[in-house]
Amino acid sequence: MDDEFSRELLERLRAIEERLDGLEKSQSQLQEAYARSRAHLRRSWLRPPMWTFEQHTPRRLNLRSFPGPPALPGRVPAIAIVTPSFNHAPFLAATIDSILGQNYPALFYHVQDGGSEDGSVEILKSYNDRISWQSAPDQGQADAINRGFAGVDCEIMAYLNSDDTLLPGALACVANFFAERPDIDIVYGHRIFIDYGGSEIGRAILPAHSDEALRYAGYVPQETMFWRRRVWDAVGPIDVNFQYALDWDFMLRAQAAGFKFARMRRFLACFRVHDEQKTTRNYELGRKEMQILRLRHLGHLPSQIEISRAIAPYLLRQFIFHWSYRLGLTRR
């Protein structure tokens, strides 16, 4: 009996020791992860903020903290938005709700799904006739966008990827801006970075538009960009040969055709950062496509030094704008 008790006691002690070892290991891993996170945040403040997604630890995005939508202009322009989507069920409803929640009276909204098999179709069906949608295999994001805009009659256009969201009042702001600025063809605004679950992890405050900087780097936040129909008629559709830089290609073609850009001093949309995101997953493909565009529009392949020199004035202004906002010296 004593031997059996001793063995049982030893087994329990051994189990306790193993648990303690596991807890110590977990604590060590957490401490290392915390130290890496702190080091990352310390280093990231010197990087261009508009390309630094994780600027702080996740915090709740308070939509009520943003200004409400302005009154609509006397004549409300028709806006068409297309969402290309493929296997993005975890984010799709949030994207759709952010657009329908604008309550814009002259909106055409279409989701072009690439034949998802992750529950996306069931989500689309749940909206009944509140949205237009189709689910069928396509040739990728650009093809989906082009299909979504086919035959659409509108004055203002935009596309919003199925993991991004519009901020409240964005469409009313865009409609007013275009009504007040007939000289501007393409408008965009500030952006907010959100994580997988929708928590805010950073913001990008942008200075006034720079045609010169855009020739070297695609810095315009696509999810905040809207354009007049005349731009699409002149330089559209989206080039299906690009998988990563399709938005920058569209911007460069519009700029080369003489269309005018402007930055609106308002947050318009949220850019979601997650592991399956195309922007982070296909970096090498993106680099190659950007080189193709630089060669096409600059006439040569610029060195990294040339690129840095060309965009340095814009990055400096963006750095100043960003930190003036972060320090409370400006509102936006």
Higher pLDDT, 64 or 9: 64
pLDDT in tens, 108-147: 999 999 999 999 999 999 999 999 999 999 999 999 999 9
Q: CA–CA separation, 96 vs 265, rounded Å?
A: 24
Alpha-carbon Rg for the chain in angstroms: 24
Q: To the nearest whole number, what is the mean pLDDT of the chain?
A: 90
| Helix, coil or strand: residue 265 | strand
pLDDT interval class at 57 (50, 70, 90):
very high
Domains of the chain: 73-326 (3.90.550.10)
CB atoms closer than 10 angstroms to residue 268: 25
Q: What is the pLDDT of residue 28?
A: 59
Task: Evaluate the omega torsion of the peptide bond into residue 207 and state whether it is cis, within 30 degrees of 0.
Answer: no
pLDDT in tens, 162-192: 999 999 999 999 999 999 999 999 999 999 9
Q: Of 325, 330, 328, 323, nearest to 47 (Cα)?
A: 323
pLDDT tops 90 at residue 79: yes
CB atoms closer than 10 angstroms to residue 59: 9
- pLDDT > 70: what percent of the chain? 86
Q: Which of these ranges, 98-112, 261-275, 318-332, has the smallest mean pLDDT?
A: 318-332
> β-strand 156-159 against 226-228: which pairing, if any?
antiparallel
**How far is the first Cα of the chain from the last one, in angstroms, to the nearest whole number?**
77
| DSSP state letter for 70 | P
pLDDT tops 80 at residue 221: yes
| Helix, coil or strand: residue 133 | strand
Averaged pLDDT, 227-253: 97
Averaged pLDDT, 231-250: 97
